[in-house]
Amino acid sequence: MDATGELRTILERLLPREATPYQLHEPELGELEKARVMEALDEGFVSYAGRHVTLFEEALAKACGVTAAVAVVSGTAALHAMLLIEGIGRDDEVLCPALTFAATANAIVHSGATPHFVDSAVDDLGIDAERLEAYLGRIATLNDGRVVNRASGRCIAGIVPVHIFGHFGDMDALKRVADRWGLPILEDATEALGSIGCGHTPGSIGVSAALSFNGNKIVTTGGGGAILTNDTELAQRLKHITTTAKLPHPWRFVHDKVGYNYRLPNLNAALGLAQVERLGDFVGAKRRLAAAYIDAFADAAHWRPLREPQGCRSNYWLNAVLLPEPDMALLEAALQNVHAAGYKCRPCWTPMHQLEIYAGHPRDELPVAESLAARILCLPSSPRLASYLS
């Protein structure tokens, strides 16, 4: 059987055809979500004021084992605020993987800085720390405590790793590289709520971490995001800048800097609070689904299931399988075949340097990112799909 037929056959055996279509990822909403939202409506606080925002932030911080969480309107807004508060802006470059969703690079541009693309590790899809160390040794120099790109003359001001599909890369190795060069780590953990990477939760190893609560994430607020940190003072500064930088006062409007209207509304936070209360159930369901996919593809001739990195416990936000070799034409044919059967699978993202908007940006050679983008196929991964498993 060819690769396209094999993929469709395995999916049809695992997930019943009569329940199609299967979207890539759908929210799981129930009575608890309705109750929390009705609380907010009954109390009359639907915008930025209201107790559910604080309750949501406290629940997030507790779930992730960090000191503080700051709720904002999107994962992109979270990343943007993290970069700004770190002082990153014009004439700076920020290292990030080429294999990521566009929001990672976009947030860097929003801050005024330049994305600088680096390669990924083939097994965990995170930044390849060893390759990054060698690359910095070739292109960068330390000048008065700042890392300077010798080619562009700009300062390299930080690293934004991405926990792809909920899988942590080797953050310990990346931290060693970051420390040697004096670079802050700002985590794009938008896909990793509920994941643990070799003892690390989002926000526990970097300066801060961004979460996303888009409708397709493991926890949703409809649209929203948050910043996690173990630095209480930093959290206060982040909350200030994301709430229009308004100084507290019963009636006066005094803003001490140019801020951003990024605060998450209370109505969205109420929905998110209920979702966080169910996070353990969601992660459990998604891990059961991942185990079923791994078992179903164990003997496949053309597809290898993507497993969580050793020592990590992933939320398996998206399950994925890989072709043995890059073949974009075959990937497209397989996607057409399964879409026709109602399985709304997706490829990985187009690597950032292959987009016209980022084609001229600084980058390392990116053989792994380019290869993975032509091999990865993401499978339907909604937590409710676990209910179909025998």
Under DSSP, is residue 278 helix (H, G, I), strand (E, B) or coil?
coil
Q: At the topology level of CATH, where does 31-277 sit?
A: Aspartate Aminotransferase; domain 2 (3.40.640)
Rounded Cα–Cα distance for residues 164 and 295 (Å): 21
| Burial class (CB within 10 angstroms; exposed 0-12, middle 13-18, buried 19+) of 191 | buried
Compute CA distances 174 → 79, 161, 379, whole Å.
Answer: 19, 9, 29
Amino acid code (one letter) for 27? P
With a CB cutoff of 8 Å and minimum separation 6, the contacts of 153 are none
For 364, other C-beta atoms within 10 Å of its C-beta total 21
* Annotated domain spans of the chain: 3-28+279-388, 31-277
Say if 3-28+279-388 and 31-277 have the same CATH topology: no
* Residue 77 C-alpha from the chain's centroid: 13
Extract the tokens encoding 386. 């676990």
- Report d(CA 82, CA 93) in Å as an integer: 15
SS3 call for 262: coil
Whether pTM > 0.75 for this model: the answer is yes
Would you give per-residue pLDDT tens digits along the chain (390 residues)?
899 999 999 999 999 999 999 999 999 999 999 999 999 999 999 888 889 999 999 999 999 999 999 999 999 999 999 999 999 999 999 999 999 999 999 999 999 999 999 999 999 999 999 999 999 999 999 998 899 999 999 999 999 999 999 999 999 999 999 999 999 999 999 999 999 998 899 999 999 999 999 999 999 999 999 999 999 999 999 999 999 999 999 999 999 999 999 999 999 999 999 999 999 999 999 999 999 999 999 999 999 999 999 999 999 999 999 999 999 999 999 999 999 999 999 999 999 999 999 999 999 999 999 999 999 999 999 999 999 986
If you classify domain 3-28+279-388 with CATH, what class do you get? alpha beta
With tokens 């899988």, the residue in question is 167
